[in-house]
C-alpha cells in the first residue's frame, strides 16, 4: 500500500463517514462509488466498505444505545442472518465484470428510487415487512455493502422519532456489517491486507462522522442527498456500460 492509496482511502472514508452522520445511511453507497476502481478485487472493495460502515455504525449505536428500538430491529436482523451468508457466497463466485454490471444496475435503481419515489412509498410497520426489508438489505449488503435503502424504507415508516430512527438504523448497520465481515472471514475473502486497508480508511470515517455531527444543523441535507443520488446515477451508468 503506497502513500497515495492511503490518502485516497482516508478521503473516501471522510466522505462516507460525513454522509452517514448527516443522512443516517449512505456510507456504503458512497464508498462503493470509488473502492471497486481502487481495490484489486470486487470482493475486497465490498469487504472494506462493510468494515467502514461497521466502524461508524458501532460507534453511533453505542452512543445512542438508549434510543434503539430493539423490538422493531429484531425481525430485520433475523432475516439478515439467512440472506447475508447466501449473498457473500454468491459474491465470491461472480466475476469482476459481472460484479461491475450488477453494482451498476443497483446504483442506477437506487438513485432513481431516491430521486423520484422515496417520498411516495411507505411500508406498514409490520413484522412481515421488517423481515422483507432485512432480507433484501442482507442481500445488497452481502453483495455490495449497500444494504441501507431497504432498512431506510422500513424504519422511516415504522419509527416517528428522528433520534430513535437514527439509533435503530445504526444498530442494524452495526450488526449486519459485523456479521457480513464474519461471513467473509469464514469464506476466506477477508485477509490481513484488507484489514490494514480498512483500518487506514476508518481514520477518515471517524473524522467524517465528527465533522458531520458538528455541521448537521447548518447543512442543507436535501441538496447534499440530491448530489449523492446524481453521482450514484452517473457512476451506475458508467459501471453498467
Q: Which domain holds residue 206?
A: 3-240
**Is the entire prediction scored with pTM above 0.85?**
no
Residue with grid cell 462516507, as numbered in its chain: 16
Q: How does pLDDT run across 85-113, given as a tens digit for each residue?
A: 999 988 888 777 788 788 888 888 888 88
| Whole-number Å distance between alpha carbons of 18 and 96 | 29
More confident residue, 118 or 50: 50
Nearest residue to 117 (alpha-carbon basis) of 162, 153, 64 = 153
- DSSP class of residue 24 equals S
**Number of structural domains the chain divides into:** 1
Q: How does pLDDT run across 13-38, given as a tens digit for each residue?
A: 999 888 888 777 778 888 888 888 88
Amino acid at each position: 500500500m503506497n502513500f497515495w492509496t492511503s490518502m485516497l482511502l482516508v478521503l473516501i472514508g471522510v466522505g462516507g463517514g460525513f454522509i452517514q452522520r448527516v443522512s443516517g445511511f449512505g456510507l456504503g453507497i458512497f464508498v462503493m462509488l470509488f473502492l471497486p476502481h481502487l481495490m484489486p478485487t470486487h470482493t475486497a472493495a465490498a469487504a472494506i466498505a462493510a468494515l467502514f460502515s461497521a466502524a461508524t455504525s458501532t460507534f453511533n449505536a453505542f452512543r445512542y444505545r438508549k434510543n434503539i428500538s430493539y423490538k422493531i430491529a429484531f425481525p430485520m436482523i433475523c432475516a439478515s442472518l439467512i440472506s447475508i451468508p447466501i449473498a457473500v457466497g454468491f459474491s465470491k463466485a461472480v466475476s469482476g465484470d459481472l460484479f461491475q454490471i450488477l453494482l451498476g444496475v443497483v446504483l442506477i435503481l437506487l438513485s432513481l428510487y431516491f430521486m423520484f419515489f422515496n417520498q411516495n412509498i411507505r411500508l406498514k410497520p409490520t413484522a412481515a415487512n421488517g423481515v422483507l426489508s432485512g432480507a433484501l438489505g442482507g442481500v445488497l449488503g452481502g453483495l455490495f455493502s449497500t444494504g441501507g435503502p431497504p432498512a431506510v424504507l422500513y424504519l422511516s415508516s415504522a419509527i416517528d422519532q428522528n433520534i430513535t430512527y437514527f439509533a435503530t438504523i445504526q444498530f442494524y448497520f452495526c450488526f449486519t456489517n459485523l456479521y457480513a465481515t464474519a461471513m467473509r472471514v469464514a469464506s476466506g475473502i477477508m485477509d490481513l491486507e484488507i484489514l490494514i486497508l480498512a483500518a487506514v480508511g476508518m481514520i477518515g470515517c471517524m473524522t467524517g462522522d465528527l465533522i458531520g455531527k458538528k455541521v448537521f444543523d447548518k447543512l442543507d441535507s436535501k441538496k447534499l442527498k440530491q448530489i449523492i443520488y446524481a453521482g450514484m446515477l452517473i457512476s451506475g451508468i458508467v459501471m453498467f456500460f
